Chains A and B, each alone.
Chain A
Amino acid sequence: GEDVEQSLFLSVREGDSSVINCTYTDSSSTYLYWYKQEPGAGLQLLTYIFSNMDMKQDQRLTVLLNKKDKHLSLRIADTQTGDSAIYFCAESIGNTGKLIFGQGTTLQVKP
C-alpha cells in the first residue's frame, strides 16, 4: 500500500539540531522528498534522495535513508527561528512521479 507516516510535532532550541523522521510503506518508491510549508504559503522543495542512496547532504540539511526499514530522516543543523514551519516527507510512486505525502511535522524553534 501507499502510506507515509510522520510524527506531528517537534520543538527545539535555536542553534540545536533538528531531526524529523518519516516511514513509508511502498518499496517501489524511487525518490523521497522533503518539503517545507510556511504559514499561508505553498510547498517549498528542500531536498530529495534517490532510493539507491543512503545519505545526501545539502548545506545545513542531511537526509538519511534506511531502505531496509523504509525510514527517512531530515536533519537540520544549527536550527534557526526561520526554520519554524511544517515539514512534509513524500514518496514518488511508480513511473508517474505522483507524490504520497505524510501528515507533516510542525517544527517549533524556540529562541
Chain B
Amino acid sequence: DSGVTQTPKHLITATGQRVTLRCSPRSGDLSVYWYQQSLDQGLQFLIQYYNGEERAKGNILERFSAQQFPDLHSELNLSSLELGDSALYFCASSVGVSGSSYEQYFGPGTRLTVT
C-alpha cells in the first residue's frame, strides 16, 4: 500500500458525460500528479500540482481539468467524455519537487470505461 488513495476504483459512464476522479496524497506529500494509462498511448503525464498551485502540464485535453484543494487532495474532472477517454487514471504524490523528494508514489488507479 503506497498511502495514496483514489476513488472510485471503477467508473462506467456514457459518452458526453462528466466525471470527477478523486485522489488523496500520502500524508506529508505536497505534490500531486495525474497520469493516464491506455493501451495505445501507454502511461502519459497529464498535470501536476504543488501545494495548491499548478506546476506542470502535459498532454492534457482542454476537456479535462484538475485542482488541488487546501487539504491537498486533488480532483481530476473529465467532461464531454469520448470512447477514447476510456483508460486507467493514476494519481501519484511526492514530498516536493526537487532532489530525492521526486520519489513518486502511485495510487491504485481509477478505471474509467466510456460506453
A–B pairs, 28, beta carbons within 8 Å:
A30-B102, A31-B102, A33-B104, A42-B2, A42-B90, A42-B106, A42-B107, A43-B92, A45-B103, A45-B106, A90-B43, A94-B56, A95-B97, A95-B98, A96-B55, A97-B33, A97-B48, A97-B97, A97-B98, A98-B33, A99-B33, A99-B35, A99-B43, A99-B45, A101-B35, A101-B43, A101-B44, A104-B42
Q: Quick one: given A41-B108, A42-B2, A98-B33, are A103 and B102 in contact (CB under 8 Å)?
A: no
For residue A100, which residues in chain B have a CB less than 8 angstroms away from its CB?
45
Beyond the given pairs A45-B104, A101-B42, 15 more chain A to chain B contacts, judged by CB atoms under 8 angstroms and listed by A's residue number, are A31-B100, A31-B102, A35-B106, A42-B2, A43-B90, A43-B106, A50-B100, A96-B48, A96-B55, A98-B48, A98-B56, A99-B33, A99-B104, A100-B45, A101-B43
Within 8 A of B (CB), among A51-95: 88, 90, 92, 94-95
For residue B16, which residues in chain A have a CB less than 8 angstroms away from its CB?
none
Sorted nearest first, the 8 A-B pairs with minimum C-beta distance are A96-B56, A101-B43, A43-B106, A97-B102, A42-B106, A42-B108, A98-B45, A98-B56
A44 CB within 8 Å of chain B: yes
B31 CB within 8 Å of chain A: yes
Interface residues of A (CB under 8 A from B): 30-31, 33, 35, 41-45, 48, 50, 88, 90, 92, 94-104
Cα A88 to Cα B35 in complex, Å, equals 14
For residue B97, which residues in chain A have a CB less than 8 angstroms away from its CB?
95-97
Cα A50 to Cα B42 in complex, Å, equals 24
CB distance from B21 to the nearest CB of A (A): 14
B109 CB within 8 Å of chain A: yes
* Nearest B residue (CB) for A92: B102
Cα A88 to Cα B56 in complex, Å, equals 22
Cα A44 to Cα B45 in complex, Å, equals 17
* Nearest A residue (CB) for B101: A97
* Nearest A residue (CB) for B107: A42
Cβ–Cβ contact A42 & B109, under 8 A: yes
